[in-house]
Amino acid sequence: SEQSLAFSDPFLSERNANDFMKPDRRLEGLSQERIRERMKAPQERQREMCEDYYPCERYAYRHGYAAAYRHYFGRKRTK
């Protein structure tokens, strides 16, 4: 019969072979996430600097991260 001939051919054309293989969307999402990590907003970088410095982080709990960053890193300190 005609159907048995269609399924007995083990080779597919390139077009038909690519139809059922879809690109992995998870990999696309991971690459977008990596791009976002490299291009952080200035506020995010400031917050991370403040989180890495314990006195700044404690100050931030009371006054907020923007104020804490200004207090510890915003101006040049001279001794």
DSSP state of 31: H
Tell the burial category of 70 from Cβ atoms under 10 Å away from its Cβ (0-12, 13-18, 19+).
middle
39-79 per-position pLDDT tens digit: 778 888 889 889 999 999 999 999 999 999 999 998 655 55
Q: How confident is the model at residue 7 (pLDDT cuts 50, 70, 90)?
A: low
Q: Do 68 and 56 form a contact (C-beta atoms < 8 A)? A: yes
Give, as one character, the DSSP assignment of residue 35: H
Residue range 19-44, pLDDT digits in tens:
666 666 666 777 777 776 677 788 88
CB of 63 closer than 8 Å to CB of 40: no
pLDDT at residue 1, rounded to an integer: 47
- In this structure, are residues 66 and 47 in contact, taking their beta carbons and an 8 Å threshold? no
Q: List Cβ neighbours of 78 (8 Å cut-off, separation of 6 or more).
A: none
| pLDDT at residue 18 greater than cutoff 70 | no
pTM of the model as a whole: 0.48
